[in-house]
Amino acid sequence: MRDTADAPAIVAEGLVKRYGPVTAVDQVGFDARPGTVLGLLGGNGAGKTTTIAMLLGLLIPDGGRITVLGHDMATNRFAALSRMNFSSPYVALPHRLSVRENLTVYGHLYGVGGLRKRIAQLAEELDLGRFLDRPAGELSAGQKTRVALAKALINTPAVLLLDEPTASLDPDTADTVRGWLERYRDSTGATIVLASHNMAEVERLCSDVVMLKAGRVVDRGSPAALIDRYGREDLEQVFLDIARGTGVAAEAGR
Amino acid sequence: MSGPVALSGRRVWGLVYRHLALYRRSWPRLLELAYWPILQMTIWGFVSEFMVRSSGWAAAASGVLIGAVLLWEVCLRSQMGFAISFLEEVWSRNLGNLFVSPIRPWELVAGLVTMSVLRMTAGIVPAILLAWALYAFAITDMGFVLIAFFALLMAMGWAVALAVTAMVLRHGAGAEALAWSVLFGLAPLSAVFYPVSILPSWLQPVALAIPATHVFEGMRAALLEGSVATGHLAAAAVLNVVWLGLAAWLFAWVFRIARQKGLLLNVGE
């Protein structure tokens, strides 16, 4: 199967991951269509990072199957990886290299054509120009987050996985980045998977949300549908209901 | 140009560029490349000079000692150049980014081998020049067989480094001391400074299973007898194929374990 305009960019079916006696991810399944942003929500230890690591091929599932852009990640992950990218605050870039050098390294690794132009374009769009030639290790947390995002966008990915993309940003910069991600999705038709604890961010960006708890999918829907289903005013209250097992979540046994 | 070979070449270059950029910005790292080979050459060179003046046999063998120091550094620097380039990725917590890129494991190895050659060259050339300037020892006097010695010792260094890298991948930075220590542990058995016949007979088969042992036997033949020990060279080549094969298998096995246990995001502690 190859990716077509309306086929899901990501299909995860029955994913299972165990670490010894602990089942970190248990029969998780979802799909994401091109041009959409899928939110993975859940408390600490819910299985978000494990799921993202499996989507990226960093982690081999104990059960289930993942297809990205039509490529089976178990047998043909490199074909998919060249059109994917990833950003996480838990993974750093070499801190002695300048921002430009880091982006050059990853431009080469992803085989980006017109690399200098692409770096200049990202520098302008993400406002990196002032520190493009400074070592990455000398930047503020917010600047590092923007550089990590630039690295994640260097190959204009068709599938972008973001773990807490605005975690270290001030509200103004975070808002700018969210706007930029929306424009990126709209202009490229990219599929974005977002793991975030910022519910306002998820409400704004995501068209579909998968709620995880103790490694299982406990609910799924658009932010508006989830808010309506739980009789709450915002997604944060829905999140708390599910995490604490209160309200509608208690009645449904979630 | 965007064929698979060109894209592979770009990925390998991307990895090499990452390390070259690092050295451009870090003079202590550059200094360290040549520091130990020069230090070793200075100490052992003067020891040789002393032996030349006090012993007839040593006069004939003085070049052997200096040659051994230089060639051992080729093996050691090749191993460390490979392993430390990988450790740089661990120290900078960059492995997660690297392994979600489309770089293939063999391209990663090719990049590390390239860095190993560059680092070894940067360390060895000053030591070779020093040996020539201070002790009038020209390593090129060994002839064309020197090229084979270099190639065989580098290959052994890569095999050991690949195994060390696998251990770092499996056990984290706790295994990084191996990058500095493993080859020092093999040195007494590798007949670097003395013939393998000096070792106890029960230890000689172990020594002869090490590729470097045959290279140093070949070096002594070249310097003392002016002959090419083709048997030793062939044995070293065959052993290197076995060592590299085993190390590649170990790396591939550990890489799969790392993907099963989720170590690729967490290597570093």
Of A49, A78, A94, the CB nearest to B94: A94
Percent composition of chain A: helix, strand, coil (DSSP 3-state, to 5): 40, 25, 35
Of A58, A94, A108, the CB nearest to B11: A108
B126 inside 8 A of chain A by CB: no
Q: How many CB pairs under 8 A join A and B?
A: 104
Reduce the DSSP state of residue B58 to 3 states and report it.
helix
How confident is the prediction along chain B (269 residues), in pLDDT tens digits per residue? 568 888 999 999 999 999 999 888 888 888 888 888 888 878 777 777 767 766 665 555 668 888 999 999 999 999 999 999 999 988 888 888 999 999 999 999 999 999 999 999 999 999 999 999 988 888 888 888 999 999 999 999 999 999 999 999 988 877 888 888 888 889 999 999 899 999 999 999 999 999 999 999 999 999 888 889 999 999 999 999 999 999 999 999 999 999 998 888 776 54
Give B259→chain A minimum CA distance, Å. Answer: 5
Residue B204: both structure tokens together: 């000689």
Q: Do B96 and A58 touch (CB under 8 A)?
A: yes
Residue A116: both structure tokens together: 């200098």
Give A229→chain B minimum CA distance, Å. Answer: 36
Strand order in the sheet with A208-213: A84-87, A159-163, A191-195, A37-41, A208-213, A216-221
Give A78→chain B minimum CA distance, Å. Answer: 5
- The answer to whether domain A1-83+159-165+186-254 has CATH 1.10.3720.10 is no
Q: Kindly give the parts of chain A with pLDDT less than 70.
A: 1-5, 249-250, 253-254
Q: Which residues of B touch A59 (CB under 8 A)?
A: 259-260, 262, 264
DSSP lists the bridge partners of residue A23 as A18
Find out whether B220 and B195 touch, Cβ atoms under 8 Å. yes
pLDDT at B269: 43
Q: Which of A87, A81, A92 is nearest to A195 (CA)?
A: A87
Q: Which residues of B touch A108 (CB under 8 A)?
A: 10-11, 13-14, 17
Give A223→chain B minimum CA distance, Å. Answer: 29
B30 inside 8 A of chain A by CB: no
Percent composition of chain B: helix, strand, coil (DSSP 3-state, to 5): 85, 0, 15
Of B7, B104, B262, the CB nearest to A53: B262
Tell me whether 0.85 is exceeded by the ipTM.
yes
B257 inside 8 A of chain A by CB: no
A93 inside 8 A of chain B by CB: yes
Give A172→chain B minimum CA distance, Å. Answer: 27
B151 inside 8 A of chain A by CB: no
Of B7, B21, B265, the CB nearest to A91: B265
Q: Where are the domains of chain B?
A: 4-261
A49-53 long-range Cβ contacts below 8 angstroms, 24+ apart = A49/A88, A49/A90, A49/A163, A49/A195, A49/B265, A50/A17, A50/A24, A50/A25, A50/A215, A50/B262, A51/A12, A51/A15, A51/A25, A51/A212, A52/A86, A52/A88, A52/A161, A52/A163, A52/A193, A52/A195, A53/B262, A53/B265
Residue with structure tokens 């070949």? B218
Give the mutation candidate from B1, B89, B97, B169 for the A interface (greatest A CB count, under 10 A): B97
CA gap B187, B198 in Å, rounded: 14
pLDDT at A1: 45
CATH code 3.40.50.300 region(s) in chain A: 1-83+159-165+186-254
Q: Which of B124, B93, B95 is nearest to B108 (CA)?
A: B95
